[in-house]
Structure 1
Amino acid sequence: MEDNNKLDLMSDLPCEILRHIISFLPLKEAVRSTSVLSTTWRQLLAPLSVNLEPNTKGIANIQQVLGRFLRSYVSHERLKLISFRAAGDDDGEDLKDDVGLIAMATKGVEKELHLHFMENSRKSRTIDHGFHLKMQQTLVLGNVQSFSSLKTLHLRSVDHHATRLVSDLFACCRRLESLTLEKCGGLEDLHVEGCNSLQSLTILDCGDIVSITICARNLKSFSYRGVLPRMQLQSASDLVEANLDFRYGVGGNEFDLEEVLCLLDSLKEVQILTLCGWLLEWMCTAGVIFGRLEFQFNKLKKLCWFSSSMDRAKRDSLACFLNMCPLLEKLLVQMDQSFSSFPCPFFHQHWHEPHLWMDYEMVKSNTSQLKHLKIFELSGFSSDDSELLLMELLLNKAVVLESMIVT
């Protein structure tokens, strides 16, 4: 039989079997794959719409709906939560114009829930509201039991309307291992505590964030992308990997050197660390000499450094930082012109003493030997003198270097 005459026998299988097949795929891959296949496959993860009843308490209503949705994790499923304006609130417009999507919920067989909040009416976001979000596990009775077995929770576009709902749901997640907050506009203060099962925390592109406080004693991985906020990581001695992606600079926040030093001190036990070039440059310009600090990264095995480009100040501040990484084995340097650059401000007071003015030979003599560095990778190479001198420095100091990859 020729190819153009072949039948799609798999698509003719019962929906129950097809759902079982895609349940073997990771949730994100299942959603992506079924969206580009035939209509039969797309319908497998087509969201089921649930109309929330008017004249009811919104938070309790949504909790009940999500509770029923999460009673089992046999297959990947999607749920669309829709609200209608109560009849008594009608201002003369057609009811159909007041239909609003509150949230899209997607659950996976590995006990994960992705909850994407959206507008619940055409007029709900005429004004941006700054809000605080406190996520704390408590022993309050009456929690939704269906959430107690949830392991992964991904929250997107949480706004001030949803803070109580999110806080209440988080309080129910007794076995939660992974939490992600993404693009939560208006979120100014985040406080997460009391979740001993939490091992991974990710915060992405919450552009209004000012303060973050995390207390999760068993946290293993922390990843942040956004502006530099006031950030406290308490009881972080078990943390293995930290990604501090401050690619948007300080935003409207103030650069507080002591707070940044306290943050790095709380991360001193990590084995994998990601930092941006402008942060080290600003710290060194303010007079910080990393080798003189009271702490070191004695367990750090892998350091990832990224910036829009490499210049003398960024090169020398990176060299200075390497002095506090005695067991470093792998160094990744990435230059990407799509990243923003941030001119260094003038500092009136200095932590130790200014030192970025030193010539290259002085920098080289002040850089400790990297006795364990085996791998160096540089991407975005532009043949700049600072890049070449950094390579020369590492060839001189990394006495056991096995691989240098430049692209």
Structure 2
Amino acid sequence: MEDNNKLDLMSDLPCEILRHIISFLPLKEAVRSTSVLSTTWRQLLAPLSVNLEPNTKGIANIQQVLGRFLRSYVSHERLKLISFRAAGDDDGEDLKDDVGLIAMATKGVEKELHLHFMENSRKSRTIDHGFHLKMQQTLVLGNVQSFSSLKTLHLRSVDHHATRLVSDLFACCRRLESLTLEKCGGLEDLHVEGCNSLQSLTILDCGDIVSITICARNLKSFSYRGVLPRMQLQSASDLVEANLDFRYGVGGNEFDLEEVLCLLDSLKEVQILTLCGWLLEMDQSFSSFPCPFFHQHWHEPHLWMDYEMVKSNTSQLKHLKIFELSGFSSDDSELLLMELLLNKAVVLESMIVT
């Protein structure tokens, strides 16, 4: 009974002290923790609403709002939330009056910014807009100083209305080290290049993706989850870790064996490679594969070489140190794969089979 009557003394502390306390938590943990605590804690992270005037330039205003938002926090603040709406764009491009782009921005003291875009129009939700997104760092003016210090950028639910805004923001992030794109419906083509500071890139659950081109010469970690797209990793010699999860199969795309082999070849120098079992398994319910699934590959030696020929014609994996295989069933193909890896991975330190 006495424990149940204990007072919450921490919630009575000044807001400055409470903000300093949550500043020691990672951004996601701070949001999760404060959401289940008292009203006082939740108010620390209450979003600040900013409604842009309909007669202003939507994208320019959003950039200005975000610029002020990033400049406003002091070192002991862990994060704030801000929601903004772009009511229209004078030139009729990117942001439409009848759409109303809604976004939530969350920042942390570790030079971290999360942007979550949400549609606020029934019309825009009923129309399927496929779009391309090119993220390239160039010399730009404007709010460069506001964004140049950002090290982590997490983009969620980017749609075709936000492409210009996102491209402009990325161009300003001169010191960006980590970029994540998540659940960007309608995104068909992604091109990321020219970011010499980028070390980590993550792409998650963008279900309409068809093509991905990455050119970031200092990239150390790359993680992908979604359908199998056409994927090119250019200048990836410094890549240390790669995680490719094609759990959703080819989706609406066509399977191209040569493109997959070229992708795997571009990853031959990585130290840690994680592949989804989809690349290595075959559905036992298929007694045959109908044409034209493999018709363009009937002449290619990869499909008819026996194990000894594969073993003699494959290159050594000079940097692969860790290999993990889950769902091991002890069939002949898996045993041959393990034997091939043991033979070719000359610096392998750990093999985990479950």
Q: Deviations over 1:177-230 (max 9, x none)?
A: 000111111111111111111111111111111111111111111111111111
CA distance 1:149–1:367, shift in 2 (3 Å): closer
Question: How much does 1:276 deviate?
Answer: 2.6
What is the CA–CA distance in structure 2 between the aligned matches of 1:96 and 1:405, rounded to whole Å? 52
User: Alpha carbon RMSD of aligned pairs, Å?
Assistant: 5.6
Cross-structure match for 1:237: 237
Q: Name stretches of at least 5 consecutive residues in structure 1 with no aligned partner.
A: 281-333
- TM-score of the pair, normalised by structure 2: 0.79
Q: Deviations over 1:325-369 (max 9, x none)?
A: xxxxxxxxx999999999998534658877889999999999999
What is the CA–CA distance in structure 2 between the aligned matches of 1:94 and 1:402, rounded to whole Å? 51
Q: Deviations over 1:9-67 (max 9, x none)?
A: 11110111101110110001100111111111111111111111221111011111100
What is the CA–CA distance in structure 1 between the aligned matches of 2:10 and 2:148, rounded to whole Å? 36
Q: Is the 8 A contact 1:245 1:276 kept in 2?
A: yes
CA distance 1:272–1:105, shift in 2 (3 Å): same
What is the CA–CA distance in structure 2 between the aligned matches of 1:275 and 1:27, rounded to whole Å? 29
1:374 lines up with 2:321 in the alignment: yes
Deviates more, 1:126-135 or 1:256-265: 256-265
Q: Is the 8 A contact 1:75 1:108 kept in 2?
A: no
Question: How much does 1:79 deviate?
Answer: 9.3
SS in 1 for 2:243: strand
Q: Deviations over 1:372-397 (max 9, x none)?
A: 99987665567889879989999999
**Correspondence for 1:396 among 313, 318, 343:** 343
Q: Is the 8 A contact 1:79 1:105 kept in 2?
A: no
What is the CA–CA distance in structure 2 between the aligned matches of 1:94 and 1:137, rounded to whole Å? 20
SS in 1 for 2:79: strand
Deviates more, 1:384-393 or 1:134-143: 384-393
Q: Is the 8 A contact 1:228 1:246 kept in 2?
A: yes
SS in 2 for 1:383: coil
Q: Is the 8 A contact 2:79 2:108 kept in 1?
A: no
Q: Is the 8 A contact 2:105 2:114 kept in 1?
A: yes
Cross-structure match for 1:359: 306
Question: How much does 1:4 deviate?
Answer: 2.0
Q: Is the 8 A contact 1:148 1:174 kept in 2?
A: yes
CA distance 1:203–1:342, shift in 2 (3 Å): farther
Question: How much does 1:242 deviate?
Answer: 1.0
What is the CA–CA distance in structure 1 between the aligned matches of 2:325 and 2:319, rounded to whole Å? 18
SS in 2 for 1:251: coil
SS in 2 for 1:97: coil
Deviates more, 1:382-391 or 1:35-44: 382-391
Cross-structure match for 2:4: 4
What is the CA–CA distance in structure 1 between the aligned matches of 2:252 and 2:293, rounded to whole Å? 17
**1:168-179 aligned within 5 A:** 168-179=168-179
Please say which structure displays the higher CA radius of gyration: 1
Question: How much does 1:274 deviate?
Answer: 1.4
Aligned length: 354
What is the CA–CA distance in structure 2 between the aligned matches of 1:361 and 1:386, rounded to whole Å? 13
Q: Name stretches of at least 5 consecutive residues in structure 2 with no aligned partner.
A: none
SS in 2 for 1:355: helix
Question: How much does 1:256 deviate?
Answer: 1.9
- TM-score of the pair, normalised by structure 1: 0.70
Deviates more, 1:271-280 or 1:131-140: 271-280
Q: Deviations over 1:74-102 (max 9, x none)?
A: 36879999999999999999999989561
Q: Deviations over 1:277-334 (max 9, x none)?
A: 3324xxxxxxxxxxxxxxxxxxxxxxxxxxxxxxxxxxxxxxxxxxxxxxxxxxxxx9
What is the CA–CA distance in structure 2 between the aligned matches of 1:45 and 1:365, rounded to whole Å? 60
Cross-structure match for 1:255: 255
Cross-structure match for 1:329: none
CA distance 1:177–1:358, shift in 2 (3 Å): closer
CA distance 1:73–1:339, shift in 2 (3 Å): farther
Cross-structure match for 1:307: none
Cross-structure match for 1:120: 120
What is the CA–CA distance in structure 2 between the aligned matches of 1:225 and 1:217, rounded to whole Å? 22
Q: Is the 8 A contact 2:182 2:205 kept in 1?
A: yes
Question: How much does 1:402 deviate?
Answer: 9.9
Q: Is the 8 A contact 1:242 1:273 kept in 2?
A: yes
SS in 2 for 1:338: coil
SS in 2 for 1:33: helix
**Identity percentage of aligned residues:** 100
Q: Deviations over 1:230-275 (max 9, x none)?
A: 1111111111111111111111212222222222222221101112
CA distance 1:48–1:398, shift in 2 (3 Å): closer
Cross-structure match for 1:278: 278
SS in 2 for 1:107: strand
Deviates more, 1:80-89 or 1:140-149: 80-89
CA distance 1:404–1:44, shift in 2 (3 Å): same
What is the CA–CA distance in structure 1 between the aligned matches of 2:239 and 2:211, rounded to whole Å? 20
Q: Is the 8 A contact 2:268 2:317 kept in 1?
A: no
SS in 2 for 1:3: coil
Q: Is the 8 A contact 1:183 1:204 kept in 2?
A: yes
